[in-house]
C-alpha cells in the first residue's frame, strides 16, 4: 500500500491537479513515488499478475529501476552512488539497464561498460532488459526463440540414446516446468519416489526463478511452483533460505512466482520450516520491505503452532501482543492490521487495551476487521477460539498431488473458458446485497485462476462486498 505524500504547497490531491507524471505526462490520479518523491501515475492496480506487461508507470519505476530497488532494499544514501546496489543487482548489463531505462526520472551517470549477453544455444545477442530469456542448468542465458523450439523434437532426440542419470533428472524437471494446464502427476510421483536425488534440483530451480523475478524477468515454466510444494511436503529444512528469499522479494514479487498461493498456503509452510524458531517468524512479520500479505501470513502461522501443540495459546498471544506494541510504536499499519486479524482468532480479552490503542491511532484497517467484530470474538471467548482451530487447515502438505489436483488450472475441461467473462461481469454490475458464498462459486473471477470453484482466503476481503474479512462474513456459513 503506497502512502500518498503531500506536496510542499498542500495535499497530494491539490498538487496532482497541476503536476504531471514524470514518465508519461498524465496529470490525473497522481501520487508520489515512495523512493524518490516524484509525481507518478497511481496505476499499479492496472497490472494483471502473470501478464508481465509494462503498462503501469508506478510499477515500472518501482520494479525496473535502481532507484526503486535501492529503496526496496533499504539502502542508505543516493542510489546513484550506492556500492551495495552495484554488488546486489544481477550482472552488469542488468545494472546498467535498471539505471538508464525510460522508467527512471534521472539516469545513472557514467554507467559501466559490459560485454553483450549471447544465447547459449544459437549465439545471438540477447538484450536482457528488453527481451524474454531464461536460465537453463548447465548453461547461462537462453533466448526466447530457442526456448520456443518444439519440445517433442527435443525428447525424440534424447530418446535416441540411452539417457544417463542427469538427463533423466532434467527430463523430469522439464515435465514439471511444463505443468501449466495439467498437473504433472507423473513427474511429481517420480520425485516423491526418489526425493533425495531431486531435492538439490528443486532448491536450485526455486533459486533461479527468484533471481529472474528479482531481475525484472520471469520464469518460463512452473517448476519452481511445484518445487515449493514438494520441498514443504518433504520438510527439507535446508531449503528454507531459498524459500525465504522467494517470499522476501519486494512488491508483487512473491505473487509473480506463486500467484494466489501466497494468500492461501504460505502460513502452512512457515509453520513447518520455522517450528521452534518464532523469532525468525517475527522477523518476517516486522520487515516493512516484504509484501504485506506475506507479513500477514507470518502472523497467521502462530495459529498452526497452537493447534499442533507446538506452542501454548498464551505464549502465542503474548508474542502477537509484542508485535502489536511494535506496530503501535512505529505506526506500522500493515503489521497492526495483520496482528489484530490473527489476535481476533484467539479471542484474547487480555490484549484489549493494546488493541483499542491501535484502533484509536487508526493503524488498523477497519475494512478488514472493525472494533465491533473484535469485541464479538472476545465476548464469545473459548467457543470462538475452538471454532477458529477447527477452520485451520493441516500444517504443511501431506501430498502435493492431492493438494493441487482440484486447482482450476489443472482441469482440462476448464482450460477453454470464454474470453467474454470480463464483459459478462461488467454487464451484470457489482454483487447484489443478497450475494452469498453459494453464488460466489458460480461467479466470474479475474485471472489467474487455480481452483475450479474460486477459493477465497480466510483473511481476504469477502467477495460479497461487505468490507469484512471473508472468514468473518460469508465464510462463517
Report the half-sphere exposure of 67 (CA within 13 A, side-chain side). Answer: 20
pLDDT in tens, the chain (477 residues): 333 333 333 344 444 457 899 999 999 999 999 899 999 999 887 777 656 778 899 989 988 899 988 888 778 899 998 888 887 655 788 889 999 999 999 999 999 998 888 888 888 998 887 777 776 655 577 887 776 554 444 444 444 555 578 888 888 998 898 876 789 999 999 999 999 999 999 999 999 999 999 988 888 889 999 999 999 999 999 999 999 999 999 889 999 999 889 998 999 999 999 999 999 999 999 999 999 999 999 999 999 999 999 999 999 999 999 999 999 999 999 999 999 999 988 888 888 899 999 999 999 988 888 888 778 877 887 888 888 888 899 999 999 999 998 774 555 444 444 444 344 434 444 444 444 444 444 444 434 434 444 445 555 556 665 555 555 556 544
Q: Is 462 helix (H, G, I), strand (E, B) or coil?
A: coil
pTM: 0.59
Amino acid at each position: 500500500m503506497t502512502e500518498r505524500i503531500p506536496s510542499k504547497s498542500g495535499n497530494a490531491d491539490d498538487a496532482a491537479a497541476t503536476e504531471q507524471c514524470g514518465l508519461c505526462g498524465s496529470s490525473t490520479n497522481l501520487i508520489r513515488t515512495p523512493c524518490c518523491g516524484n509525481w507518478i501515475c497511481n496505476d499499479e492496480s492496472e497490472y494483471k499478475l502473470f501478464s508481465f506487461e509494462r503498462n503501469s508507470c508506478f510499477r515500472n519505476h518501482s520494479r525496473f529501476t535502481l532507484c526503486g530497488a535501492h529503496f526496496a532494499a533499504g539502502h542508505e544514501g543516493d542510489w546513484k552512488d550506492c556500492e551495495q546496489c552495484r554488488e546486489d543487482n544481477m550482472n552488469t548489463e542488468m545494472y546498467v539497464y535498471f539505471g538508464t531505462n525510460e522508467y527512471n526520472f534521472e539516469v545513472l551517470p557514467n554507467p559501466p561498460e559490459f560485454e553483450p549477453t549471447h544465447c547459449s544455444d544459437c549465439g545471438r545477442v540477447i538484450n536482457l532488459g528488453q527481451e524474454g530469456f531464461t536460465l537453463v542448468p548447465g548453461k547461462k542465458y537462453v533466448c526466447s526463440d530457442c526456448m520456443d523450439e518444439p519440445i517433442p523434437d527435443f525428447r525424440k532426440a534424447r530418446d535416441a540414446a540411452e539417457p544417463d542419470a542427469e538427463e533423466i533428472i532434467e527430463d523430469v524437471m522439464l515435465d514439471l516446468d511444463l505443468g501449466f494446464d495439467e498437473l504433472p502427476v507423473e513427474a511429481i510421483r517420480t520425485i516423491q519416489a526418489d526425493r533425495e536425488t531431486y531435492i538439490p534440483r528443486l532448491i536450485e530451480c526455486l533459486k533461479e526463478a527468484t533471481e529472474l523475478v528479482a531481475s525484472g524477468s520471469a520464469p518460463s515454466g512452473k517448476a519452481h511452483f511445484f518445487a515449493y510444494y514438494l520441498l514443504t511436503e518433504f520438510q527439507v529444512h535446508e531449503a528454507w533460505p531459498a524459500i525465504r528469499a522467494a517470499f522476501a522479494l519486494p512488491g508483487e514479487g512473491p505473487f509473480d512466482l506463486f500467484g494466489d498461493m501466497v494468500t492461501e498456503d504460505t502460513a502452512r509452510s512457515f509453520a513447518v520450516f520455522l517450528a521452534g524458531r518464532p523469532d525468525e517468524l517475527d522477523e518476517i512479520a516486522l520487515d516493512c520491505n516484504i509484501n504485506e500479505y506475506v507479513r500477514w501470513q507470518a502472523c497467521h502461522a502462530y495459529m498452526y503452532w497452537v493447534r499442533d501443540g507446538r506452542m501454548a495459546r498464551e505464549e502465542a498471544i503474548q508474542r502477537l501482543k509484542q508485535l502489536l506494541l511494535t506496530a503501535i510504536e512505529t505506526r506500522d499499519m500493515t503489521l497492526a492490521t495483520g496482528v489484530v486479524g490473527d489476535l481476533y482468532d484467539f479471542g484474547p480479552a487480555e490484549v484489549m487495551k493494546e488493541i483499542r490503542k491501535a484502533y484509536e491511532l487508526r493503524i488498523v484497517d477497519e475494512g478488514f476487521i472493525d472494533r465491533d467484530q473484535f469485541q464479538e470474538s472476545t465476548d464469545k471467548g473459548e467457543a470462538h477460539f475452538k471454532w477458529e482451530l477447527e477452520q485451520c487447515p493441516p500444517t504443511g502438505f501431506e501430498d502435493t498431488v492431492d493438494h493441487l489436483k482440484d486447482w482450476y488450472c489443472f482441469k482440462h475441461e476448464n482450460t477453454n473458458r470464454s474470453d467474454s467473462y470480463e464483459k459478462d461481469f461488467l454487464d451484470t454490475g457489482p454483487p447484489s446485497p443478497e450475494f452469498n458464498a453459494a453464488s460466489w462459486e458460480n461467479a466470474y473471477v479475474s485471472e489467474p485462476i487455480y481452483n475450479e470453484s474460486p477459493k477465497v482466503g480466510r483473511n481476504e476481503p469477502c467477495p460479497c462486498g461487505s468490507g469484512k474479512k471473508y472468514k468473518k462474513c460469508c465464510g462463517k456459513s
